[in-house]
A and B are shown apart, each in its own frame.
Chain A
Amino acid sequence: MEWETVIGLEVHAQLKTKSKIFSGAATQFGADPNTQACAIDLGFPGVLPVLNSEVVHMAIKFGLGIHAEIAEKSVFARKNYFYPDLPKGYQISQYELPVVGKGHLDMQLEDGSTKRIRITRAHLEEDAGKSLHEDFQGLSGIDLNRAGTPLLEIVSEPDMRSAKEAVAYLKALHTLVRYLDICDGNMQEGSFRCDANVSVRQKGQEKYGTRTELKNINSFRFVERAINYEIERQIALLESGGAITQETRLYDSAKNETRAMRSKEEANDYRYFPDPDLLPLVITADMVNAVRQHLPELPQQKRDRFVQEYGLSIYDATILVSDSTMAHYYETTTKTADGHAKLAANWIISELLGALNKANLDIETSPISATQLGTLVKRIADNTISGKIAKTVFEALWKQEGEVDHIIERHGLKQVTDNSAIEKLVDEIIAAHPQHVADYRTGKEKLFGFFVGQVMKASGGKLNPQQLNEVLKKKLS
């Protein structure tokens, strides 16, 4: 039997505001428990919420970023349920009328093709606090610092057909919110969280299968693993004659499995109704236009421009625009390198990113600045150093040994382009290996590489490879 997977994602992006969505308390991560919670966050008697206008601004930005309808009037609703880390006994969210309506996001698949994922809606809501079940001798601790932190919940249509697609969509969304500067995207700290609705159906079948909702997947890697685990579990269950229960399942990354949390039968009736403490949120065309005017270049626009302007492949361009800081780094590098755009891209993608990854750093904390790397590329392009020597310079830059030209100077890394100097070295090597020379001349042409290596080694790698080839060929013939 052939199965098809259907996936929809619900993403909670924590909005990057200084204060909470309905109070003036700070939103900074990592403060001592309950030090960033005011009477409003604690749900004291008599307190009232007042909407943080910055949150609305960010929601509009997001709406524009996914080409969505932005509601002229949206409504905050109360989602009622009891839990100790939910101080008011209800969460202020949006239900029937969300601030952002239907939109879409295009994502790049590994084979280079593009797929459009439809976004159903995005709505504003407040986060709950945290329950801490360890360290309290059988009791639970409650930290309400996070209570009232602004969230944008982004709900996709069930348009993804594999775990890989889900990850690609999630990455595209992650890139977008960071470009828009509305979310720091930190998945470890929970600023960008994802729940996945997963179901399977037989190929060709139109009706969706019963879905399960996976929670607690806090990295791109876990999203892929959790979904793949769940797909296999569902298929195995169906093939053995079982049925899927609609339920919420928790992903355990340590065991790489999903476990049932609660089924639909025990699901809460949230008794949504419009929050009478808040007026409907009205967004005028003027407000939208004001935001539109200051909208940054979005990832896809930037990618297309990189392809056009710099002649990059879509694949390379996609990597470079996946992070706005990296895109900026790339453009600075290219500019410093007098426009040697492809070479700059190669150095960033194959050398810099590899080194950063190995050292567990990112582009923002890179020890090599964009102008340094740009200068390095420039020196390769103008034949001051060879590509091979450039790697030595790169390593020196990484160790913060100074600027490119100084390093080249100090270590005498300048490429030798003087023909007589090259000839001299070649003559020495030929003299030292008479047998090899004889073998070569009788047809063992493979030995040519041996001579190149020897001469290069003797020169400390500083010869221009093309020049060396010419001289060697002449001398050996």
Chain B
Amino acid sequence: MHYKSLTEWSRELNNHAISSAELTQLFLKRIQQFDKTLNSFVTVTTEQALVAAKAADQQRALGKAGPLTGIPIAQKDIFCTDGVKTSCGSKMLDNFIAPYNATVVQRLQAAGTVLLGKTNMDEFAMGSSNENSFYGPVHNPWQHDYVPGGSSGGSAAAVAACLTPAATGTDTGGSIRQPAALCGITGLKPTYGRVSRYGMVAFASSLDQGGPMAKSAEDVALLLNAMAGFDPCDSTSVDQPVPDYTATLNHPLRGMRIGLPKEYFSDGLDARIATAIELAIQEYKKQGATLQEISLPHTTLSIPAYYVIAPAECSSNLARYDGVRYGYRCEHPQDLADLYKRSRSESFGNEVKRRIMIGTYALSAGYYDAYYLKAQKIRRLICNDFARAFAQVDMILCPTTPSPAFKLGEKTSDPVSMYLSDIYTIAVNLAGLPGISLPVGFVDSLPIGMQLIGNYFDEARLLNAAHSYQKVTDWHTRIPEGY
């Protein structure tokens, strides 16, 4: 029975077919049983979960239950959780107990969800394979010697293996959508500013966006209802009303104009993924959507621009980890420089160091114009590409990744080829647009994903389109063997 979706569990709870306490215990047991292999959790909050589940059941008994009351979820270990270790996948924060709740945590808590624990991730969300975690790599539940994607790899793997009905993720260059695709689940990166970043440990502030990950678009819509909305603690969150994302899930797609960016169907794309996407396109045509080719001419520039902007912001965002107030401090520092040098070099992993160095370089006097400023100009061009596209179409459809999951260790020595696995997702972050990845089939028994990209604050349309597809397909209900 563990394979049910969040929406199904919500119904069961509502019908008193199961209590939150029972449901919570079910998932805690599954975590205990399977996570030694998967390594998808950094922290399991068993006791707190049981207390919260009990409280949720009481709420329900009082008739005060909402659709998420009593639903167990997992938080990516990037969201500060009051009284709980918030490591961000780093040795630097291995001893950090957050003293406050991130807005996302607080909102999901207020909606009645039960926190099962904190999920593994690439250190400070930097990575596409979850191999950059201080706590070791996460394994893909579909094939254990494959990566789950990253950086929200723990969340994706845990949802795919039914260790939790849902989890949160963060997406700076594809970190929700890519692991969702590689693990066969549904993950949404909302419009930049739709979900508060307060309490979400920053990697690249102008790109980071938190979002929900679950089995289906329907589940994701329920979660987004709770997560989205203006937050006075985040100056970049947008004060726009939050619609009920579940209300429009079943709108007919007749007349919807879907654009297919030719640059996303070029040489680098695995032909078998292209075929799977083609079948999905046929499905949308069947439902009355019209499809047309569009062009996003600056696509190839998105990776170089991203790998200037994201490291630049990261080099500054990570400066606070200095061993002075919290986090890792080296033993017996000789002086201030030694304290900084060793605390940081002993606790940051290689990818984090690489990006700090790239970013520091890009911002340095004499290089700023050539790198950072130029990257910002490219970013503007990429935004313009999308603006032109959305003048013609309502939504963009493309693959989420050019290939299915790769083997653990396969790309660790070649960072650039690792960076290229985010080729279809990065431009969306640079433009601040919403994007969703949903399962669209399998290649070599590994799941693959389709990405739908919407205009600003058009999450409802993406969820509508994703749900319409999921109503007639069953990829999103498949469970990896052994789970």
Q: Which residues of A contact B (CB under 8 A)?
A: 39, 42-51, 78, 80, 82, 84, 87-90, 142, 269, 271-273, 276-279
Contact = CB atoms under 8 A, between A and B. Distances in A.
B341 to A, nearest CB: 10
Contact of B201 (A46, A78, A82, A84): A46
Contact of A39 (B88, B100, B364): B100
Given A48-B234, A277-B236, A43 B320 contact: yes
B93 interface: yes
A385 B368 CA distance: 76
A43 B363 CA distance: 21
Given A50-B233, A89-B319, A276-B236, 15 more contacts: A39-B99, A43-B325, A45-B201, A46-B102, A48-B234, A49-B235, A80-B319, A80-B363, A88-B319, A88-B320, A90-B316, A273-B363, A273-B368, A273-B372, A276-B206
Nearest to A273: B363
A87 B233 CA distance: 19
A277 B102 contact: no
B340 interface: yes
6 contacts: A47-B198, A50-B234, A271-B360, A271-B363, A271-B368, A277-B236
Nearest to B361: A271
A45 B325 contact: no
A55 to B, nearest CB: 14
Nearest to B208: A276
B157 interface: no
A145 B197 CA distance: 25
Contacts of B434: none
Contact of B235 (A45, A51, A82, A89): A51
Please tell me the size bucket of the interface on B. 35 or more
A222 to B, nearest CB: 29
Interface of B: 79-80, 86, 88, 93, 96, 98-100, 102, 197-202, 204-206, 232-236, 312-313, 315-316, 318-320, 322, 324-326, 336, 340, 360, 363-365, 368, 372
A273 B98 contact: no
B336 A89 contact: no
A267 to B, nearest CB: 10
Contacts, number: 97
A47 to B, nearest CB: 7
Contacts of A278: 235-236
A275 to B, nearest CB: 8
A474 B236 CA distance: 91
Contact of B198 (A42, A48, A80, A142): A48
Task: Summarize A's interface: helix, strand, loop or mixed.
Answer: loop
Contacts of A80: 315-316, 319, 363
Contacts of B98: 44-46
Contact of A46 (B80, B232, B365): B80
Given A46-B80, A84-B336, A276 B313 contact: yes
Given A44-B326, A84-B322, A87-B325, A276 B235 contact: no
Contacts of A82: 319, 322, 340
Contacts of A279: 235-236
Nearest to B99: A39
Contacts of A42: 325
A312 to B, nearest CB: 50
B325 A48 contact: no
Contact of B316 (A39, A47, A78, A87): A78
Given A44-B326, A46-B102, A84-B324, A90 B319 contact: yes
